[in-house]
Structures are given as structure tokens and as C-alpha cells.
Structure 1
Amino acid sequence: MECQIPADIGNLTNLEQLGIEYANLTGVIPRGIGNLYKLELLYLGQNKLRDPIPHELFNISTLRELSIPTNDFRGILPPTLGVTLPNLEILYLGANRFTGIILPTLSNASRLKSLDLSENNFFGEIPHSLGNCRYLRKLLLDENPLNSNLPVSIGNLSNSLDSINMFHCGIGGEVPRSLGNLSSMEILNLASNGLTGIIPSSISSLRQLQWISFEDNKIEGPIPSEFWSISSLRYLYLNSNNLTSSVPTSLWSLNDLLELDLSINFLNGSLSSQIGDMKTLIKLNLSVNQFSGDIPSTIGALQDLQELSLEHNNLQGSIPDSIKTMLALQYLDLSFNSLAGVIPNSLEVLLDLQYLNVSYNKLQGPVPRGGPFMNFTILSFLANETLCGAPWFQPCQTSQHRSNKKVLLLVLLPIGSAVLILGISLLLTKRASYHDLRRVTNGFSRSNLLGSGTFGSVYKGVSTNGIIWAIKVFDMQLEGLLKTFDTECEVLCRLRHRNLIKVISACSNPDFKALVLEFMPNGSLEKWLHLDHHVLSIMQRLDIMIDVARGLEYLHYGYSFPIIHCDLKPSNILLDEDMVAHVSDFAIAKLLGGGESHVQTKTLATIGYIAPEHGLEGLVSTRCDVYSFDITMIEAFTGKRPKDEMFTEELSIRPNENMACVSSILQLALSCTSDVPENRIIIKDALTTLEKIKTQFLQRNKG
């Protein structure tokens, strides 16, 4: 229930503390609040209060704590704020829409201990005068478009300062050495900015530091060896930078570290055997670097480790058997290396392991069958040398098998086709790394954004030699993301058809997942149907729907088992430079196996295109795609969306076209939209009918 602050609250003149948080307050703060001349604490956070804030509020000189975060306040703060509130100790204004510069006059509130201006629209430099706030302990400026350099004067801030949060602020320039002066610092977060240069060795002076992040900047050079002296460090994030050289041996002596992320850099050399000394580690990410040599067997000493990411390196040798002792392990990615030998059967004891990827290595021999391996799919083992034994691979060879090798190859060729195709595609395309994708999309800039959907965003990527790709970046916050990504990978990697979108490569890291797809310069069918400046002839519409029908026919009948798209609609039909249609977006596709005619799902497709049995009972079959195909076909020939009153207005096609063609299309549609799935025709028959309609249309136009 919504409520407002009473207008007569100013009558409570002896009130010293007022706290109304998480109360769904709406409206404005009454001007009468200025009459509370004894007020010391005011907490109104997590409500729906809006402008204007009465200027009388900023004249209550007794105020020590002012907390109004997560409301809808906006505009510029009064320039005299620090002067009129000299006793202020806590100022929380985060998650509003304030703008303007960070006021230099805040320094007049010399008792200030905590300043939170995060998630607003403040811009400009951090005032040098904040150094006058000698009691300041927390400075939270994250997610403001400051777009300035980190000033040298930051080292003049209070010696009591224990937390700085300035991530995603557009801060550039080098990291000042003066940061080392902040000797009480415990949390330093400068992630997602544009910082350059090296990490200064003076950082080692922060002997109380527990959490530090320079993630996603442009920092270069080596990792300072001085980090070893910060024995209090628990969390270290240096990922997504341009760091080079090898990891200093001293870093592995941080025995109390809980999380270490050095991924997506240019680090090289071998992994030290001292890695096993970091026995408290819970997360270790060294992926997307240039590490070489063997994985040290001492890594098995990390018995509290839950996530281990070593993918996209140049690691060689075998998978250490000692990993079997890492019983807390939940996530293990060793893909895109040059690991050889067998997958140790001993890994079957890792009962908490939920994710495994050893794809794109040189592994051979039988795939373990017990423990967590019962839950892994082919996506965990793609593109290795001669893995065998799992349902997706050939049986492990005996002497009799070897003598019948040629016959066996012919029998198993359909089963292994997905792996074979992927192996060939590896020879033709470069493996995609986060670095690659960030570069070709200009840092995933908005100017390269092609569109967004339920499962993420699609960017245009342009390589140095002019090749254009579509980069589908998955939303990592989405529930069930891993399954969605795996589904689309599994489906697309199996398919090769002119009317299905082609996968070029993939990038899968713990914090980033993307598919590299062929680029469709003419966009989606939806764009052509519903934007005024696009015009499609009847022949073009016919050709597009025939293309779509051919793609669906391949999905339903062209593979060893049927694949159901589950979400066919105009926005998922993309057109290449020749206006050839390609069916895309297989994020909720379903694979039928073992003679199944349907499966049950909790994932719903788009309202308007979804078959009745899919929406009501969660049952999907190839007939669901037929239903969606029909709705899309009607939309293609009428220009009306599913929710429109289809036939009460004129059709959007040009009146001089042969209307007999449209009549035939609509008759075909009636045979596809029955509420009873069994009464719908199959896609093969729909395709045959469409091709006949096209032939008749061409004959009429000749006459």
C-alpha cells in the first residue's frame, strides 16, 4: 500500500530521529520538515519519493545522518550543502538521479565519515577539497559518468579511509602512486573504467587491504611482485586488462586469498607448483591468457576450490589425477588448450561437479561414466582426438573393432557428425576469445548493437580484414543461462543448412558467453513487415516462407532425430544480402530422441505465435513449429501481427498483385492452425503446397 509523509510532520518540533524506509512512500518530502530543528537522523531510503526536495531540509544544521537512497530524486544539489549541514557524518544519496558536479563545499562538513553518491549522474573531477574530511571512511561514487582522471590528490584523503568504490565511472589516466598513502584501505574497487599504465608498486603499502579490483581496464605491464606483502588480501581481481609477463612467484604465497581472477590478459610462462600453497582459494580464474606447460599436480591441494577456469591457454601434458582430491569443485573448464592423454576416471569422485568443459584439446580414450559424468553432454567434450565410450562417441576399440574399422566408421558416421563438423570448422575459423570479440565490437559499444532480446544482446563485429559477424552475447544474470547457452550451442553445432543461421565460433568463460554467427545484412523479416520504408513483393514473401519451410523441414526430418525450434516468429527469421531467409535463435529449442513424438517444457515461447498445447500444457512437438509457421505466414502476407484483427482492414500488399496467390496462402494457413495438433499438416506438406502456389503464381504472371 502506498502512503505519503504527512504534511503536518513539521509540528513534531522535538523529533530527533525519523526513519521510514522500505515503506512504499510516494509524493514529496513536505516543506514543514524544515521545522524539525532538533532532527539528527533522517532515513527515508528505498521508497518512491520524488522531487522537489525542500531547501528547508538542507538547513537543518543539527543533522548528522541524512540517508535518502533509492528514490526518484533528481536535479542538482544545493551548492551550500556542506556549509548548511556542518555536523553531517553520513550522507547517502545513492540510486537516485542527481546530476551536476561533486560539490567541493562538501568538505565543509568536516566530520563526514561516509559519503555515498553512487548510481547517479554526477560528472567531473573528484574535488581536491575532500581531503579536508579527515574522518572520511567510505567513499562510494560508483556508476556515475565522472569521465575524468583519478587525481593525484586522492592520496591526500583521510588516513581513516577504508573503502573506495569507483567502478564504472569512466575514469581514465594512470593509477596514481599516491594511492599507497591510504594506509587504512580495506576495499578498493576501480573496475570497469579506462585506467591505463601500470599498477604502481606503492599499492603494497596498503597492508590492511582485503578486496581489490582493477577488472576491465586498460592496465598493462607485469603484476607487481609486491602484492605478496599484503597478507590481509582475500579478493584480487585483475582480469580483462592488458597485463603481460609471467605471474610473480611471490603471488602464490598469498595463503589467505579466497578469490583470484587474472583472466583475459596476456600473461605467459608456466604455472608454478606453488599454486598448491593457496589452500584457502574458492575461485581461481586464469583463463584467456598465454600460459604454457603442464598443469601442476600440486593443484590438487586446493581442496576448498569451487571454480577452476584454465580455458583458452597453451597448456600441455595430461589432466592431473590429483584433481580428484578437490572434492568441493563445482566448475572446471580446461577447454581450448593442448592437453593430451586420457580423462582420469578418478574424477568420478567429484560429486559436486556441475560444469565440466574439456573441449578443444587432444584428449583420447574412454570418457568416465560415473559420478557427475552421468550428467554431462557432448558439449563438455567437443573437438578432441579420439575420445570414446560415451553415447555420442564411437565405442572404445577392441582388437575385433580395429579389424572392422572401416565398417564401424560407416555405421557411426551419423552419430559423430556433429563432432566431425565442428572439427572441420575449427580448421576454417579462429577460436573466439573475449579479447577478440571485444576488439571487433569496439568494446561492445552501443553503436554496434544490432538488437536485444530475452537471452541477451547481438552486436555487429567487424574484423581487421573487413569480415562482418553477428556476436550474440548472453545475459549472465539470466536464470538458467548455462542451459540456454548449451542448448543453442548444441543445436547450432549440429546443423548445416542453407536456411538455418550458421555458427562460426563460440566463447564460453565463467563470466562471459557468446556465439559468433554469420551476419545477415538485411535484418529480420519483422523489420521488413512493419517499417514503412520497407516493401516486399508477393514473390519475395513467397520465397521467404519457402526458405523458412525448408529450414523447418530439415530440423524436423533432416537429422537423426527431430529438433523443434519452439519460438518461430518474424524477428527470428533473418535475411541475407540476397534476401534468402535463415531461421535463427535456438535458445529454447528441444531435441526429440528415442522415438519421442513430444516433450514437456516449462519454457514458453512468444505469445501470439505459441501453439495452444504448448501454452496450456507445456507440450511441444514438431506440430508446434507448424502452428508458429502458419501465424508467421499470415503475418508475412497481411502485414498484421497476431493480436491484430486480421481481416477487418485492407491487406498491406499492393493491390495490383494477383490476389489468388494470397487466397491460396490463407487456405493453406487454415490447415496449420487447428487447436488439435494431429489435425495440422506436417511441414513437408506445407512446403510442397507453397512451392505449388509459387509455380501457379509465376504461370499467371507469364500469361
Structure 2
Amino acid sequence: MKQLQKLKILDLQDNRIQGLIPNDLCHLQNLGSLALSENELFGQILTCLRNFTFLREIFLDSNKLTSIIPTNLFNLEDILYLNLSSNYLSDYLPPHIGRLKAVIQIDLSVNNFSSNIPSEVGGLQTLADLSLAHNRLQGPVPESFGNLISLQSLDLSYNNLSGVIPKCQKRERTPPQTELLPTLAHGRIAYQELLRATDGFSDSNLLGTRSFGSVYRGTFTDGTILAIKRLDIMTDLACALDYLHHGYSTPLVHCDLKPSNVLLDEDMVAHLCDFGIAKFLGEGESIAHPNTLATLGYIAPESPQERINMREALAALKKIRHQFTQAVKGEKHEDCIALRGESVGSSSEP
């Protein structure tokens, strides 16, 4: 793993991996997401995770981990999701859990935790989901639970707790005109404001990267903190056009680019739709053939005679998108045109 020091996401969920969590994992200090759920890992949670300053998600549930939660794990103050459920973790819940000021979800259910619930949990004002079910916790539910203003789901079942659950003081909602930021006009935030809030989209504010792009932590001038998604729509469209113009022997020109003709799939990847006035161009021709495709929804951008499997088409689009993203970043300028096997050229979309 020493060669993977730039790795951002490690997802090995739902396998049959056995043994201890390898110490080599300690070299991956740029990880933003660690997912080892539903395996057969045993032993202790690595203490080196305290050094993973970019880590936002920890999923170690459904294993055979034992001992205690390393106290220094709670030094990761920017953790958003922590799931250690369905293991054999024991001892008490340390008060250091109150350091997770940005956490959204904590699941420590189905373990062997005992003693009282630390009152510091009540200071986690961003916490939306908390499950401590199926443990051996005892004593009263802390009065501080009434301060969990973002709490939506709470499961304390199958413990030895007593008393009543304090009523949560939900965040009071103000009228929309006073709740929104000054720069929010019709639900939009100015790009310059986003730049300031994320410190120029600095890596220090990067929460994670997914197929739809990157997610950044943004802190605005009034103290409001938001998760900001930068959708790669323009990159997706550029790659789609490259595919249409150069992906097959018969170029296809869309002829009707506009926002309403862009669809986002479940992964927030942009696709072109409505090929109602699209034109096929023959080799060496600069005018459109009268051959026209007419569609209402999304179709794979190839001629009917050369129709490929939709899954293959999507895979090809995603591959081109990845290559084009690298080209935009200046990492590999030739990659975006690798599928058509020619030098860099220019193309225009009518």
C-alpha cells in the first residue's frame, strides 16, 4: 500500500477478508473514505487513523473487531460518518466523542459497550442519526440530549437505560428571506462567494470525491457551514460532444445544445438528450445529411446501425469523462482523444 499514498477512497466492503486490519493502511493518510464493512476482520482498530486528517467516512461495521475504540480516533473532528456497529467492541464510551463537531451519523449498535452515555454527545449539534442499540449501556439518558437540534433518528433500544429521553430543542426556522445568506438570490450563491467560503476550493476543505464530482466544506461570513458539490457538467458535455463528433466513423452533430437537453443520472453525470434535429455527417462533408434522429429522451450517441449496449455506452462516456478531466488538469493532454487515435484537433458544435 505504500505506492497508494494518494488514494482518496478505499472501499472493500462485502468481501471475505480475514485477519487483522493491516498496518500498511497507515500509509494511506490522504484517504477521505475508508469502507471495510461486512468482512471478517478481527483485532483492534488502528490507532494511526488519528493521522488521517482528510478522513470523512469510516465504515468498519459487521466485522469481528474487539477491544476499545482508540481515544485518539475522536481527534478527527471533521468526520461526517462513523459506523462501527456489529462488532465486539467493549468498555465505556469516552467523553472524547464530543469532539466530533461535524459528524452527521454515528452507529455504535450491536457491541458490548457498558457504563453511562457521556453527556458530551449532547454537544454534537450536526448529528442527525445516532444508534447505540443492543449494548449494555446503563444509567439515565443525558439531559444534554435535548441540545441535539439536528437529530432525526435515535435508537437506544436493548440497553439498561433508565429515565426519559429529553425532548430535543429543534432548530427554530425563520422565514426564508431572513434565513438565506445575503448572496442567496433565488436559491443561488455567487461563485466568488463559494471561492471565499472554500478558500479557493482548497484541498484542506475537500470532504470527498464521488462520481458526480467533489464535495467541499464551505464556511460563509455569517458562520454558516455548507457542503458544496461541484458538478462536472461542462466536462461531461465536452466529453459527450467529443464522443458524438469523433467516436464513430459517421460523426453526429447534436445541433440543439441547451440546458433543457441535459439530463443528470443517479450518479449526477450529465448526458445529452433530445436528438430530434441531430445530423449525421459523411466522411469529408461539412453539410448535414437529411438523415435525422428523432427522440424524446436520452439515447446512446451512435447511429441505429451501429447501436451498442446502453451499459457499454455509459461506460464509454464515463471513461472519456475521466480522461478529459485529466486533460483539463494538465495531467495528460492526449488522453481525451485516445479512443479515436488521432492528434489533438478542434471541433465545433453548430
TM-score, structure 2 as length reference:
0.48
Which is richer in helix?
Answer: 1
Select the structure with the greater relative contact order (CA < 8 A; seq sep ≥ 6).
Answer: 2
TM-score, structure 1 as length reference:
0.24
Larger radius of gyration: 1
